[in-house]
Amino acid sequence: MIVRTSVDATPGGGEVGADSVVPPAEAVTPLVRGAAVLVELTEAGGTLSLSALERATGLARSTVDRITATLARMGYVRLDGRDAVLAPRVMELGNAYLAALRLPALLDERADALADELDESVSLAVSDRDGIRFIHQATRRRAMSLSFRIGDLLPAERTAPGPLFATEWTDTDWHRWRERRAADPQDRGFPAVPPRERPSRDEEFERAAARAGRDGFALDDQLIEPGLVAVSVPVRDPRTGRIACVASVVSHTSRHPAAGLRDTLLPRLRAAVDVMRDDLREAPAPEPGAGPMGLATWTGASKQELGREFVESLARGLTVLTAFGEGRAELTLTDVAKATGLARATARRALITYEHLGLVTRPTDRTFALTPRVLSLGFPPLSRTSLPQIATPHLTELAQRIQESTSLAVLVPSATGDAGRVGGTGSGPEIQYTARASTSRVMTVNIALGTRLPAYATSLGRVLLADLPAAQRDLGPLHALTSRTVTDPTALAYALEDVRAQGYALVDEELEAGLRSIAVPVRDRTGRVVAALNTAMHPARRTLEACLHDLLPELTATADRIQSDLHVAERFTHVALS
């Protein structure tokens, strides 16, 4: 961690350093420390032991314990033995910035379409002081090169967008850039890029910026690592003419030598950027809306429950960031106080703290706005999470509480042939297990991840099938797997309607004698059922009534937790379902 400005009270790493060494007198120390913990976890890839956090932040162990306990209460981290792990809900901080910025909502689909058209990765980046930060990635995964995540910060001079942004730099910006290069010649303050092996001369980037100003595009010829090349074009704000973000196509020398990028990819990138600019011009003004009210009112109850371990000023301060959002890009102190329910003086001190940390700016005397640096608070490591990853800690907790094994599954089209399929002879939709948690009991249902089963005879499958429009439910042949299996298509259709109406499926020894299971749906932000969650047991363990009475509320509560994490995570990133 180089370029740290204050060991005790400033988020570490080169990328978050406060403007001045000494925090202003009104800064909220627990908030500064909480931000430092989130930045260290982010730079470490999402997980650090509590003692490593203690070393990285320079904070006392008791302070680290209280901060992580508070972040855990907020759902921002998970405490897993001796480790603190970033949890999906922390993405609501980055989401607040991305929603306020609006560019992802307006441009992501165009970027994705261009990536499909070219079969190359496409990204959108904004300027973050003397660096660039990604706000969108449409990644074509390739074995050959590293790829960056939403929220990653790169040194401007090692990228194609950098020289374009530098065309708008002031003398102060150039000065800051030179100072940073002198203090950190190997780019150690940018954990997303490999350290620089040999120094580059300032003039090279100055010339690249001058060229970018003339040409209206810029190239990256293996500035980050051998083979990685990119071409970038600015997307200008139609109102101000200034660069709103930069769109890049990223490739590899094995497919596009850098010299060829100009002829091959640049014309298509330019055409896509023209359309993006039209999209920005035609976008209706964002709905101002009333905004959230009383975001921070829950903190008092947590304080009562957790006592000294809950740092209320940290929890309250963090909710200040979530007061911003779509149509709420610039807020006054009054707006922030209203949205959070905090006293004006408390909200003001939080905003001053954030300004000191470079997380908030003042576009005018009266207003505050989030900066791209908010993405350094946990976003990048979680931006590639998957539903099984999101669900696993919740499944484990549920399995411990109910002392039964729990599973998550998705619907897959039938496999050709019977390989990997238990109990099936015909074809039809199947479920596939994507996450599991088992208990230590001897008699436990044991199903390996990846196992496929016929959907019609399982509780998981019925929950997934019930969400499909009846016309799309091609169930295939229905075989009797036990004497109880429902094999009459009409009876099954009625059963699925019941599942749909009740919100759960209870299946009793239809797949296998001695196996009873109950499942509930997991829905995405649009309300579509994307997975199902269940528990299965021997019928002797619980009566059908006990399943409904004891297990169903537990399953529903767990599905709600998984859903709520999923909805935060998928707002601006693609969350893989398996």
Binding residues for ligand PHB (CB under 6 A) = 121, 123, 147-148, 159-161, 220, 224, 230, 232, 248, 250
Q: CB of residue 577 vs ligand PHB: minimum separation in angstroms? A: 24
Q: CB of residue 230 vs ligand PHB: minimum separation in angstroms? A: 4
Q: CB of residue 161 vs ligand PHB: minimum separation in angstroms? A: 6
Q: Which residue's Cβ lies closest to ligand PHB?
A: 123
Q: CB of residue 241 vs ligand PHB: minimum separation in angstroms? A: 23
Q: Which long-range contacts (CB under 8 A, 24 or more apart) does 213-217 make?
A: 213/167, 217/164, 217/262, 217/266, 217/269, 217/270
Q: Which is nearer to ligand PHB, 381 or 388 (CB)?
A: 381
Q: CB of residue 204 vs ligand PHB: minimum separation in angstroms? A: 14
Helix (H) or strand (E) holding 351: helix 344-357
Residue bearing tokens 């003042």: 362
Q: Which is nearer to ligand PHB, 158 or 338 (CB)?
A: 158
Main-chain phi, psi angles of 448, to 5 degrees? -75, 150
Rounded to whole angstroms, how far apart are CA atoms 449 and 440?
A: 17
Q: Which is nearer to ligand PHB, 148 or 324 (CB)?
A: 148
Question: Are the C-beta atoms of 233 and 273 separated by less than 8 Å?
Answer: yes
Q: Which is nearer to ligand PHB, 212 or 230 (CB)?
A: 230
Q: Which is nearer to ligand PHB, 127 or 248 (CB)?
A: 248
Q: CB of residue 136 vs ligand PHB: minimum separation in angstroms? A: 9
Q: CB of residue 151 vs ligand PHB: minimum separation in angstroms? A: 12
DSSP 192: T
C-beta atoms surrounding 58 within 10 Å: 17
Contacts of residue 110, defined as CB under 8 A and 6 or more positions apart, other chains included, come to 272, 275, 276, 279
Q: CB of residue 386 vs ligand PHB: minimum separation in angstroms? A: 21
Name the token pair of 317.
Answer: 């301060």
Task: Tell me the chain's radius of gyration from C-alpha atoms.
Answer: 26
Q: Which is nearer to ligand PHB, 220 or 326 (CB)?
A: 220
Segments of 66-207 assigned E as strands: 77-80, 83-86, 121-128, 131-138, 153-155
Q: Which is nearer to ligand PHB, 248 or 383 (CB)?
A: 248
Rounded to whole angstroms, how far apart are CA atoms 429 and 503?
A: 20
Main-chain phi, psi angles of 487, to 5 degrees? -115, -5
- The runs of H, that is alpha helices, within 188-311 are 202-215, 258-264, 266-282, 299-306
Q: 436 in helix, strand or coil? A: strand
Q: Which is nearer to ligand PHB, 220 or 467 (CB)?
A: 220
Question: Are the C-beta atoms of 304 and 328 separated by less than 8 Å?
Answer: no
